[in-house]
Structure 1
């Protein structure tokens, strides 16, 4: 590599800003992990099982976010970025395959692969960016990743599932803190803010959210296809479709649709870059939890839900509304009252959930989401309506 090659690695303002096909190819590996996560939640509906699945989901989400930041900073068409993305894709596929037994015999595969992804990514970027500004960030990230990677490997070697969960929670916390504070090193000046391509970054988050909804659609179709077609199961399937449609509409007609313009216009662009992953994580986790609940409801529409299952169904709706409220606040500087009321409604339904069949609980959660969406629609329509003075 010549001395000028690292300069060519960085995206330019005049170059293509749209998502590359390689990035969409990479997304397929992440969507596979979402399906396995929702299946794990549906199969083992205990509080510990849900916590384990959420940790796995949060880890895989960290893989996606850090990879997206790489392709937002560096061109995915310039070596060695395509090779790096494909390597990370193989790693996330390996982690996904180990996910169902990550807290049993394949813990070292799951944790060790995440550590290898972090370390390998850092070494590749350090070598490719030698002598350039971006190398400092990669060096600091490598220091933090050595610490968290050790915890991931140690956690994979711990035999007890609960202790493994505890160690991995600490490791994941280290990863999230390091990213959120831009890899601080005592005695060294803070790193400069992340430089982003607004069009590309907004498009990537929009794409991954819509693809996540595809996972909910897939789970609904597969769940019904494996069962006899009875009126109650078709009703549960229709409820799942209604939920997916509302989750799409609420995002597409709200802050998600104007994400690019918000990033471009915001005086706090860096804050949006750093809060976007957390807001979208809430919504992605909500969809995955909803998919797990949908799978059980379609299979047994009249089964009374356990507390963990009720948490998946109602918590999925509430978590989505919280994520949407966070995104709305970051984009528009406000928190819609309708979202707050919706979250309160999901909490209020929790005591009643043990007395309702799964079908009724799923319908109640869908109606809460639909009610919030209807209020938002009327509010948006009122904003667009001309005042009497202009008629």
Structure 2
């Protein structure tokens, strides 16, 4: 049987809007890239290197967000969408393979793969649609992809890592601005807001956050398996487990669990669609940074952390709490004081970090997260309703 070419690619709005197995398969490539970013962070000894790792993570996050928006708008079971997703998955795997040396030997591979993903996606969608706003959006995306893609390629051929970082930051800014403002073109009317499926979109963010926690668990297990079992390493292992549990519980028992309800009920649904990627990026970056810190703590529990290691341990905790507070504000319409106090605690601990063993600093970060979780539990007993529901 052949499919009717006139049948629209968009999702059928009736019935359940669950994530497709192909999307979970695609996530495997993204999780592999998270592990490589975490390893790069753990190996870095300079702020420039840490900035490079964050740029690589932000680029890969852009791949995931834009791909999720495709599968939220178009059915993953309608050709050519499945082939498009598999093609993007191949590109992500190529970017991941080039990631450890993206600022040395394989810059052109990393930047070229992302440019190809962006441009190829737009061209496929242009060819597969026959007029309408969907085709208009895809055409505009191609124009923006050409601009950003040129910067990615130029950055990839620059030999100096500093210049490459600067050009790639500009390229990533073009990508984020284009997506955030729906690919504006001078002289043309603004495109309408993205039409989304709340059930599918909420499930996808819940899945990727949970898989990111899986990366923390994986790093914890692998780090201990590669070192002798000693009491201090066992304590670091237990601390990492406590951290992973609290990071999961804070999200699963709070705003993350009510994300679908918030999107469905919000009179400002488009705002939630636009802010979700940034709130979750902060949390994902926090978990990845925490995983890098865990790797270094388990390897050398008694090591006195330098500035970069302190940034991984306390900065990872702080980034997660900022993202969690951001999501809390978008879902409940307020910022919890426990999150503010948690961020303040991580800042207050920073001056003391150089005088503490890595294990103690990791335990302190875990206790900060546990204190915030306790505050969430006490507040949750009052059963707050998302602000968007009561609007």
Which of the five TM-score ranges fits, normalised by the shorter chain?
over 0.9
Deviations 1:49-87 (A, max 9, x none): 110000000000000000000000000000000000000
Partners of 2:382 and 2:132 in 1: CA distance: 51
**Gaps spanning 5+ residues in structure 2: where?**
385-391
Shift of 1:3: 11
Gaps of 5+ in 1: 385-391
Correspondence list, 1:1-391, <5 A: 5=5, 7-383=7-383
Q: Where does residue 387 of structure 2 map in the other structure?
A: none
In structure 2, distance between residues paired with 1:3 and 1:130: 15
Please report how far the alpha carbon of residue 337 of structure 1 lies from its aligned counterpart in structure 2 after TM superposition.
0.8
CA separation in 2, counterparts of 1:177 and 1:312?
Answer: 28
Q: After TM superposition, which residue ranges in structure 1, 4 or more long, deviate above 3 angstroms?
A: 2-7
Cα drift, residue 169 of structure 1? 0.3
TM-score (norm 1): 0.96
* Cα distance between partner residues in 2 of 1:133 and 1:381: 45
Shift of 1:4: 6.6
CA-to-aligned-CA distance 1:90-122 (integer Å, 9 cap, x gap):
000000000000000100000000000000000
Secondary structure, counterpart of 1:257 in structure 2: coil
Distance 1:89 1:28 in 2: 9
Cα separation, 2, equivalents of 1:342 and 1:266: 28
Contact 2:37/2:288, CA 8 A, preserved across alignment: yes
CA 1:383–1:23: 2 relative to 1, 3 Å: closer
Aligned residues: 383
Conserved in 1, the CA contact under 8 Å of 2:37 and 2:57? yes
RMSD across aligned positions (CA): 1.2
Deviation at residue 132 of structure 1 after TM alignment: 2.7
Q: TM-score, structure 2 length as denominator?
A: 0.96
On the 8 A contact 2:310/2:353 being kept in 1, the answer is yes
Work out the CA distance in 1 between the residues paired with 2:219 and 2:261.
Answer: 33
